[in-house]
Structure 1
Amino acid sequence: MAGMTRTTTRGAPAWLVLALVSACQFMVILDVSIVNVALPSIQRDLGFTPTGLAWVVNGYLLAFAGFMLPGGRAADLFGHRRMLVAGLALFSAASLAAGLATTPEVLVVARVAQGLGAAMLAPATLVVLNSSFTDPHARARAFGAWSAAGGAGGVVGAVVGGALTTGLSWQWVFLINVPIGAVLIAAAMTALTRTRTGRREALDLAGAVTGTAGLTALVYGVMQSDGHSWTSGRVAGPIAAGVVLLAAFVVVEARVASRPMIPLRLFAIRGVAAGNAMLLLFGGVAIGMWYFTSLLLQDVLGFGALDAGLGQTPAAVTFVAVARLAAGLLPRAGARTLILAGCACLVAGFGWLAQAGAGSDYVTGVLGPTLLVAAGIGLAFPTLMAAATAGAPAGEAGTVGGLASTANQVGGSIGLAVLATAGGYDVVFLIGAGLGAAIAALSLLLPRH
């Protein structure tokens, strides 16, 4: 068989590799949030119905969450540089199409294509991190920077989206990705080289179809709960189909596939199993913080969209600083200690945030608790990603990275839909505190080191 390509970073300075993968992660997560502020302008200009407008966001999230598993496996089979560059190219081309869209249908298709590009890109960045930074201290610092970039992208998106929409037009929330993508493609071609190793295997088609279709159906069904009851056919039908397809995926991987997309033996690694379970819950924590705090500022305290983004900036700065600090502490303190400390901050911060109401002021009602929650996220997220991917066997780093990214993204997508039906903001934030406590309990399953 033909030789399989494997990405290395021979000759490239570590700072360039880290800057490349951090910038990729920033762009992918930025695109989740930057569009929200522009939605009213998009609806007005293109004539979206309220239901159709939701697919400007949901189309991206569904493709992103549903296709990360095959994206991670493809990175192992076809080379990490190849997948990273291909993901950047697709993401940039789809951004151009979205910015030039003149009909709702074209914009939604472009958003789905953006999600596919992100699903190729995100696991590849994790593989590059794991293969480029082998020293535990250097790897921990790299994960801290990568995590901080993603978290910052989620919050900065609201500010940048508001500025671009107000100062230029909504089209620029998409078009801004085109020059950024071109620069990153050039950087990837410069920083990452290819070597020949092993052999190229066929992609597990049955596993890819059942796994991707199952995740997509499950997330789609949960998303429908925002406008329909959980017992309606629009919700229960896709969820049931998703469960059946995911069960079929497990059977395929365990008994049918000769080269499974997700070898089930990976879950025998305690870090992989416990780390992915925690990342699934953690997706709901992150949504509870960034998305619902933004709504609290606007709906309850009367902030404008841009002011709400600026109001979350101190928390974003805190997250970035603490994530970098956690990266330095991880090799000495261990994953379990940092996760428990982070979860303590999450429980206390969300409990405090649940007390906010119409009579609250920004400093004591929102700023104080969000700084505490952001510190908890900064301690926990890079640690969880490092723990969930550190035990990846040789040649399966992309698979493990895709699995970790999928767990976090699916958790966020499901968390958003579930929390949106939970009731008032106090209930949402109390659920966030409960998720923090559950993650703390699961962290006890991690290896001590």
Structure 2
Amino acid sequence: MDREPGSTRGSVPTSRPEAGARPAPHTGGGRHEHRWQILAVIGIAQLMVVLDATIVNIALPSAQRDLGFSDGNRQWIVTAYALAFGSLLLLGGRIADLVGRKAVFLAGLAGFAVASAIGGAAGSFSMLVAARALQGVFGALLAPAALSLLTTTFTDPKERAKAFGIYGAIAGTGGAVGLLLGGVLTEYLDWRWCLYVNCVFAVVAILGGARLLHAGAPPDRPKLDVPGTVLVSAGLFCIVYGFSNAEKHPWSAFLTWGFLVIGAVLVAAFAWWQTRAAHPLLPLRVVLDRDRGASFLAMFISGAGMFGVFLFLTYYLQQILGYTPVKTGLAFLPMVAVMVVASVVTTNILVPRVGAKPIVPLGMGLAAAGMAWLTALDTTSGYAAHVLPPLLVAGLGLGLIFAPAMSMATAGVAAHDAGVASAMVNTCQQVGGSIGTALLNTLATTAASDYLVGKKPSPQVQAQAAMQSYSTAFWWSALFFAIGLVVTVVLYRRGAPAAHRTDGGAIHM
């Protein structure tokens, strides 16, 4: 495998593409004149993958009544997707580098649509779980292929900034969109449409992708690192499974700590193997660049912290304020709007001028402040006066994090590493989300139980216990973002990125 010229700061590429020249199929990802249509196709695919993590949550109570499964089994509808998706992302990214991004992108879309149709038509609990796992498998193909297509399609610095601003906004707000869409579909149609709707997204994206994207595999494609693939897939599976079990089992149970230890050992063995493999699955040059490493950590930390907004604020709005699923989704729309604007402005204006160092840490600080502000909520709080202001602050913070971090995480990566670098972004966010959900759920449940000790369980006391659990989750989310502030301040380099340098169609920043 060739060394990546853009992996060292200040490196100079051996060649520069001529203005207006059509990129080679393996680097361009799409015809130059259709790049904005390609962005729309990629955005639709990314929205489908991201919103699927929350849209099904809204449908769960209805699905449970329809299919008759127990509360104990309910978590598997969510966990099956997370396990397959989280553990196979790096493999999916490398397959995109090996086979070609268009083929993997379209295969991922088609498979995701078929799995969604099976899930929507499920007549039993086991069929629904199997469909969700299959969604995760094809999502692991689709997500890194989509981001690597974006990385290799947009080579002009200004256009790349706009594209990543839009893409980052979609990635950051997809969870909130899923809550709204899931509420509408469940309330006015049927829970099964929360799965069927993916078929609509997929068909539109397949038609657009088949027409616009370049075919063919990269000529310098790397070989597959089979031992590395087995180690990291098994390790990530154990980590996600262990944290998923923490929601139902104590931390002292082997199903929790045992899988976490095994997962950590396997991931450590994977890291060791990558230093010795002739064709590593995750070349160390991809992760050891300071800006890139800081971006991966930013995605991991924000993935863990933002569940404090989406998960526990959803509980608060529905259980304390009595909102319907649709009204809950609408309540998040102002936050979505702020995130979209912040993402686009940040990547187009701020980062090119001052770099990621002041922007991403500022986003972490604002997100921490917004989460800390949410701890002031009580059972008598109103939306406009008490919920909306901290929601907007948190949304602004997340908007300053996602788009710059995604752009910097994939900038300067050689074309034959674009898929695995993109997969690493998704892996960090997915594993961070799994860890955040498990930790916050456990801490919130413990806080509620401690509050109820020695008290009569009246409705008022139960409501106060719930508020105690939400407040605890918000405080810990604030702590996650505060840690992210420190990490990104230390790791990001000072100054504007060197966006004018290119390497195989990727911008070196």
Superposition TM-score tier, normalisation by shorter sequence? over 0.9
Structure-to-structure mapping, 1:370-385, within 5 angstroms: 370-385=391-406
Q: Which residue of 2 aligns with 1:248?
A: 269
* Contact map agreement 2:29 2:213 (CA 8 A) in 1: yes
* Contact map agreement 2:298 2:401 (CA 8 A) in 1: no
Q: Which residue of 2 aligns with 1:18?
A: 39
Q: Which of residues 64, 68, 71 is equivalent to 1:47? A: 68
Structure-to-structure mapping, 1:194-205, within 5 angstroms: 194-195=215-216, 197-205=218-226
Post-superposition CA distance 1:305-333 (Å, at most 9, x none) = 22211211211122112212212222123
* Contact map agreement 1:41 1:170 (CA 8 A) in 2: yes
Q: Alpha-carbon deviation of 1:103?
A: 0.8
Post-superposition CA distance 1:59-99 (Å, at most 9, x none) = 11111111111111111111111110111011001001101
AA in 2 matched with 1:275: S
Q: Which of residues 302, 312, 331 is equivalent to 1:282? A: 302
Instruction: Write the distance in 2 (CA, Å) between the matches of 1:198 and 1:250.
Output: 27
Instruction: Write the distance in 2 (CA, Å) between the matches of 1:143 and 1:233.
Output: 42
Instruction: Write the distance in 1 (CA, Å) between the matches of 2:43 and 2:375.
Output: 33
Q: Which residue of 1 aligns with 2:5?
A: none
SS of 2:215's equivalent?
Answer: strand
Q: Which residue of 2 aligns with 1:342?
A: 363
Q: Which residue of 1 aligns with 2:180?
A: 159
SS of 1:193's equivalent?
Answer: coil
* Contact map agreement 1:271 1:391 (CA 8 A) in 2: no
* Range with greater deviation from structure 2 (403-412 or 288-297): 288-297
Instruction: Write the distance in 1 (CA, Å) between the matches of 2:477 and 2:386.
Output: 16
* Contact map agreement 2:26 2:415 (CA 8 A) in 1: no
AA in 1 matched with 2:424: L
Q: Which of residues 303, 318, 324 is equivalent to 1:298? A: 318
Structure-to-structure mapping, 1:306-385, within 5 angstroms: 306-329=326-349, 330-385=351-406
Post-superposition CA distance 1:185-206 (Å, at most 9, x none) = 1111111112564244432111
* Contact map agreement 2:152 2:415 (CA 8 A) in 1: no
* Contact map agreement 1:294 1:312 (CA 8 A) in 2: no
Q: Which of residues 55, 79, 99 is equivalent to 1:58? A: 79
Instruction: Write the distance in 2 (CA, Å) between the matches of 1:239 and 1:223.
Output: 10
Q: Which residue of 1 aligns with 2:293?
A: 273
Are the structure 2 counterparts of residues 100 and 361 from structure 1 closer, same or farther at C-alpha, using a change threshold of 3 Å? same
Are the structure 2 counterparts of residues 136 and 320 from structure 1 closer, same or farther at C-alpha, using a change threshold of 3 Å? same
Whether 1:446 and 2:466 are equivalent positions in the alignment is no
SS of 2:246's equivalent?
Answer: helix
* Contact map agreement 1:217 1:242 (CA 8 A) in 2: yes
Are the structure 2 counterparts of residues 315 and 11 from structure 1 closer, same or farther at C-alpha, using a change threshold of 3 Å? closer
Instruction: Write the distance in 2 (CA, Å) between the matches of 1:35 and 1:42.
Output: 9
Structure-to-structure mapping, 1:171-190, within 5 angstroms: 171-190=192-211
Give the total of aligned pairs: 445
Instruction: Write the distance in 2 (CA, Å) between the matches of 1:196 and 1:352.
Output: 50
Q: Alpha-carbon deviation of 1:12?
A: 4.2
Instruction: Write the distance in 2 (CA, Å) between the matches of 1:443 and 1:272.
Output: 11
Structure 2: state its 5+ residue gaps.
1-24, 445-468, 498-509
AA in 1 matched with 2:135: Q
After the TM superposition, which parts of structure 1 deviate over 6 Å for at least 4 consecutive aligned residues?
A: none
Q: Which residue of 2 aligns with 1:392?
A: 413
Q: TM-score, normalised by structure 2?
A: 0.84
Q: Which of residues 189, 195, 198 is equivalent to 1:168? A: 189
AA in 2 matched with 1:434: L
